[in-house]
Amino acid sequence: MKGFLIITICLVASTSLISYAYNAYVVTNKLVVENISKEEEETKISHILFGIAGSAKTWTNRSRYSELWWRPNVTRGFVWLDEKPQENEPWPETSPPYRVSEDTSNFEYTCWFGNRTAVRIARIVKESFELGLKNVRWFVMGDDDTVFFPENLVTVLAKYDHNQMYYIGGNSESVEQNVICSYTMAYGGGGIAISYPLAAELVKILDGCINRYHYLCNSDQRIGGCMAEIGVPLTNEHGFHQMDINGSARGLLAAHPVAPLVSLHHLDMLYPLIPSMSRVESVKKVIEAYNKDPSRTMQHSLCYDLKRNWSVSVSWGYTVQLYPWLMNVKELETPIRTFKTWIGSKEPFTFNTRPNYVELCKRPIEYYLDQVVDLPNGETLISYSTIIGESNEQCENQHYKPALAVHMVNVTAPMLSPKVWRKAPRRQCCEVINDIGSVLHIKIRGCNQWESVTPPFHDKYGDFAYFQRKIHPVMNRSRNLELVLERSANLDP
């Protein structure tokens, strides 16, 4: 009996121990699963801490750009000022909260044509990091005239493991700027994204870096120098736009690369995006479309109207260009040179361009964003219209007259999921559905398998080819020479 009692007690104890171990296992694994889930949570806007470079004296004017994209209680970060703003002027609730940068007068700065405020701006990432805010995965720096597109910024950063050291941004559009500054650095006005682990390494050496690179003029050059010392290269994302150009950006943005639109900079230095509006109002108009479908904003689609031999270029949420002739896709996807380099030269740029012809009959008919409508089927309908009063002159060429009767272009498109940017990039396709009087209707969609945008050229020397060469000469010189030699051979007796 005594032995039986001992055995029973042992069995009960063993059962209790097993039960305890099992429960502990379940609880522990539940915590592990929860931690893993938390660790693998998708990157959100709340994981980004913005550091905006500003000045107390200019903020009143420049804040109109930051307030276009800043969302109180949603976006996190600060505008870093050189001094405390005047107390008699309350800080706008629509602006990012401000912080005053630390004194940088003890740092060395010897660039004779620069401004030593570059030292203060370079340290924004360090001062932001040292705030010790929780749940920060990315530090994103920009200027007070930078317009960010937050959802697309999240889409881009979510592609990367924030636990690794990443330095993300874009180059200048002007070759001379890259030669003077660097091809291997992110340009600050277009935005610089630094992952938390890299920021932790950067802040350890940043102050020393600033003094070591005292001869460099700009803040982003100093950041780039520090990254070189750490050994982390730039990850170039084509949606960060420094906008180191002069003139009109419409040629560039009408042929946006196949990448999410992340930022626009230097908007005060450029003509308004939409000719009939002010600079700020035109950006507001684009943001109207952006709010409907962030991933699709300014995505480029190309198609043909084969009934009339027209070519159509759509930059969703911005502009449509109608060419009353057939053009090959390589030319259509190339930006029209409506701008000059940062110092005012015609070129070169870090991307191909084509001429912005003065002759009216060599230019496309342009339509700009007018209205954005949600359709019951979940698609969007955007109307683009011509700008009334921009020019009273019109091309008298017979190829143009039917196209000039089109005063509005309606474009329908389904929502573009942000997940599409995790796949191999591909431009979306479009098709001309019909035209009703003065309205042309276009539908944008994903491309079908084996589908390509291929113009139905009649033959090498048919009416179309002759018309294109006469009015729009092929830019490839070697191809021009090939055509000349072929034609000469055919003319020989």
Q: What is the pLDDT of residues 351-409, one digit of tens each?
A: 999 999 988 889 999 999 999 999 999 999 999 999 865 555 788 888 788 999 999 99
* pLDDT over 90 (residue 75): yes
Decide which of 220, 236, 252 is a domain's last residue. Answer: 236
Residue 181 forms part of a structural domain: yes
Q: What is the pLDDT of residue 102?
A: 97
Which range marks the domain in which residue 376 is found? 296-471
Q: What is the pLDDT of residue 39?
A: 55
For residues 92 and 197, membership in a common domain is answered with yes
Distance of CA 391 to the CA centre of its chain: 31
For residues 319 and 452, membership in a common domain is answered with yes
Neighbours of 456 (CB within 10 A): 9
Give the per-residue SS3 of the chain: CHHHHHHHHHHHHHHHHHHHHHHHHHHHHHHHHHHHHHHCCCCCHHHEEEEEECCCCCHHHHHHHHHHHCCCCCCEEEEEECCCCCCCCCCCCCCCCEEECCCCCCCCCCCCCCCCHHHHHHCHHHHHHCCCCCCCCEEEEEECCCEECHHHHHHHHCCCCCCCCCEEECCCCEHHHHHHCCCCCCCHHHCEEEEHHHHHHHHHHHHHHHHHCCCCCCHHHHHHHHHHHHCCCEEECCCECCCCEEECCHHHHCCCCCCCCCEECCHHHECCCCCCCCHHHHHHHHHHHHHHCHHHCCCEEEEEECCCCEEEEEECCCEEEEECCCCCHHHHCCCECCEEECCCCCCCECCCCECCCCCHHHCCEEEEEEEEEECCCCCEEEEEECCCCCCCCCCCCCCCHHHHCCCEEEEEECCCCHHHHHCCCCCCEEEEEEEECCEEEEEEECCCCCCCCCCCCCCCCCHHHHHHHHHCCCCCHHHHHHHHHHHHHHHCC
Q: What is the pLDDT of residue 426?
A: 96
Residue 276 forms part of a structural domain: no
For residues 209 and 302, membership in a common domain is answered with no
* pLDDT over 90 (residue 31): no
Residue 320 forms part of a structural domain: yes
Q: Which residue has the higher pLDDT, 186 or 28?
A: 186
For residues 192 and 330, membership in a common domain is answered with no
Q: What is the pLDDT of residue 4?
A: 43
Decide which of 236, 255, 279 is a domain's last residue. Answer: 236
Stretch 83-109: mean pLDDT: 92
For residues 363 and 223, membership in a common domain is answered with no
Q: What is the pLDDT of residue 394?
A: 81
For residues 348 and 436, membership in a common domain is answered with yes
Residue 267 forms part of a structural domain: no
Decide which of 189, 216, 236 is a domain's last residue. Answer: 236
pLDDT in tens, 411-462: 999 999 999 999 999 999 999 998 778 999 999 999 999 999 988 765 443 4
For residues 319 and 191, membership in a common domain is answered with no
Q: Which residues contact 359 (CB under 8 A, 6 or more apart)?
A: none
Residue 493 forms part of a structural domain: no
Q: What is the pLDDT of residue 434?
A: 81
Q: What is the pLDDT of residue 389?
A: 55
Q: What CATH number is attached to the domain comprising 156?
A: 3.90.550.50
Q: Which residue has the higher pLDDT, 266 or 15?
A: 266
For residues 344 and 422, membership in a common domain is answered with yes
> For the chain, how many structural domains are there in total?
2
Q: What is the pLDDT of residue 51?
A: 98
Q: What is the pLDDT of residue 16?
A: 46
For residues 215 and 319, membership in a common domain is answered with no
Residue 466 forms part of a structural domain: yes
For residues 139 and 218, membership in a common domain is answered with yes
Stretch 313-340: mean pLDDT: 95
Q: What is the pLDDT of residue 461?
A: 39
pLDDT in tens, 273-306: 999 899 999 999 999 999 999 999 999 999 999 9
pLDDT in tens, 226-274: 999 999 999 999 999 999 999 999 999 999 999 999 999 999 999 999 9
* pLDDT over 70 (residue 41): yes
For residues 211 and 309, membership in a common domain is answered with no
Mean pLDDT of the chain: 86
What is the residue whose two structure tokens read 């009408």?
Answer: 254
Residue 104 forms part of a structural domain: yes
Residue 329 forms part of a structural domain: yes
Radius of gyration of the chain (CA): 28
Q: What is the pLDDT of residue 353?
A: 96
For residues 191 and 302, membership in a common domain is answered with no
